[in-house]
């Protein structure tokens, strides 16, 4: 089916304009998807707690008229978010305990994580940082300078991870300034960028952005976040190809989500589509137990059964590592 003219025009706009036109209202999103809010368990209270934000580039991948679409489930605010599930909290992975005076997270040996921005192009309802106090910890210019100096002074740090929010929501100029400061640190081997934008807002992957990233003498690794093969549109493929062809190593991390990808066939298709487009399946995370996300949880027992089915169906290099994050642990914890 061909795209409506209005969508064709939308996708010719600058990525920032596309982002500005993202859906932020349940009624508008449902109208676009030929759904009635009255037939869905939507919650305006959940929106007040964690706003709705869905770019058209992602919404266009959702099957219209299907209230059970796995992509819709990732972004639709529903009443289940208001239920207090036992064991769920506002800081499930111990980010606040790992925050340093320079506003970086130093959780694992040899790596530090920058919270560059609290903004995302899409508000995923299962987000483990949906309750994170970004205003207190994201890097402004002064904190950024202090953090860079702290990295210069610590020769044990070999990798900087740009995170958020989503670091690719920073302007090219801001990214360039940050990269230039990191470039002169000799003991730094890699810069890793964690971003959902190549998947949900592929227009962000411009020639200018790639030129900015390629200025770095360090190896650049980008970890994208895709949970279902239906997210991989032609525009996403083009964005991934542009990144790959520029020499950036691409990995994917997914979250195992009930009602989205808790099915071996779906996980296999995701791995095949990713690898077929130059992205290595890297991690399959168990849900981080953030308040408001309990309805997405898949048990460890179920997860292990699923990954065994995936292992039986795919070559080893297409099987993501099943992991969970445990506050205070020295690394991601494998699930056996």
Residue whose structure tokens are 């360039």:
176
Per-domain residue ranges of the chain: 5-82, 95-334
**Does pTM surpass 0.95?**
no
Q: Which residue has the higher pLDDT, 330 or 18?
A: 18
pLDDT of 325 higher than 70? yes
Structural contact between residues 159 and 110, judged by C-beta atoms closer than 8 angstroms: yes
Per-residue pLDDT reduced to its tens digit, 295-322: 999 999 999 999 999 999 999 999 999 9
The confidence score (pLDDT) of residue 98 equals 52
Q: What is the mean pLDDT of residues 188-215?
A: 97
pLDDT-derived band at 53 (thresholds 50, 70, 90) equals: very high
pLDDT on residue 235? 98
Q: What percent of the chain is predicted at pLDDT more than 70?
A: 92
Measured CA to CA, the distance from residue 179 to residue 175 in angstroms comes to 6
pLDDT band at 38 (very low <50, low <70, confident <90, very high): very high
pLDDT tens digit sequence for 124-139: 999 987 766 655 555 5
User: Residues at the annotated binding site?
Assistant: 120, 124, 127
pLDDT at site 155: 95
Sheet holding 111-115, edge to edge: 104-108, 111-115, 159-163, 190-195, 219-225, 249-255, 280-285, 321-324, 333-334
Whole-number percent of the chain with pLDDT over 90? 76
Measured in Å, how far apart are the chain's first and last C-alpha atoms? 43
How confident is the model at residue 134, as a pLDDT? Answer: 52
Domain 95-334 has CATH 3.20.20.70: yes
Q: How far apart are CA 165 and CA 120, in angstroms?
A: 5
Annotated binding site for [4Fe-4S] cluster: 120, 124, 127
């Amino acid at each position: 089916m061909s795209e409506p003219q209005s969508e064709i025009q939308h996708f010719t706009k600058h990525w920032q304009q596309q982002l500005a036109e993202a859906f932020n209202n349940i009624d508008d999103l449902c109208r676009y998807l030929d759904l009635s809010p009255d037939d869905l368990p939507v919650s305006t209270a959940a929106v007040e707690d964690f706003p709705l934000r869905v770019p058209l580039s992602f919404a266009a991948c959702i099957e219209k008229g299907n209230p059970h679409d796995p992509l819709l489930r990732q972004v639709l605010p529903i009443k289940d978010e208001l239920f207090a599930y036992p064991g769920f909290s506002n800081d499930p992975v111990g980010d606040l305990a790992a925050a340093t005076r320079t506003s970086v997270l130093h959780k694992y040996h040899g790596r530090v994580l920058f919270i560059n921005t609290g903004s995302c192009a899409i508000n995923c309802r299962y987000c483990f940082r949906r309750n994170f106090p970004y205003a207190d910890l994201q890097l402004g210019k002064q904190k950024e300078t202090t953090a860079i100096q702290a990295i210069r002074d610590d020769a044990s740090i070999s990798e900087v991870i740009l995170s958020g929010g989503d670091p690719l929501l920073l302007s090219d100029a801001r990214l360039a300034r940050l990269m230039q400061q990191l470039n002169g640190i000799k003991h730094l081997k890699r810069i890793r960028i964690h971003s959902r934008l190549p998947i949900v807002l592929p227009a962000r992957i411009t020639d200018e952005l790639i030129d900015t990233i390629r200025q770095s003498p360090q190896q650049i690794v980008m970890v994208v976040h895709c949970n279902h093969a239906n997210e991989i549109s032609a525009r996403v493929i083009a964005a991934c190809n542009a990144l790959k062809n520029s020499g950036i190593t691409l990995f994917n991390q997914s979250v195992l989500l009930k009602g989205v990808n808790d099915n071996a066939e779906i996980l296999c298709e995701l791995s095949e589509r990713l690898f077929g487009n130059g992205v290595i399946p890297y991690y399959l995370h168990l849900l981080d137990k953030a308040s408001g996300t309990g309805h997405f949880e898949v048990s460890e027992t179920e997860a292990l059964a699923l990954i065994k089915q995936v292992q039986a169906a795919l070559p080893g290099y297409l099987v993501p590592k099943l992991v969970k994050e445990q506050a205070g642990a020295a690394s991601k914890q494998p699930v056996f």
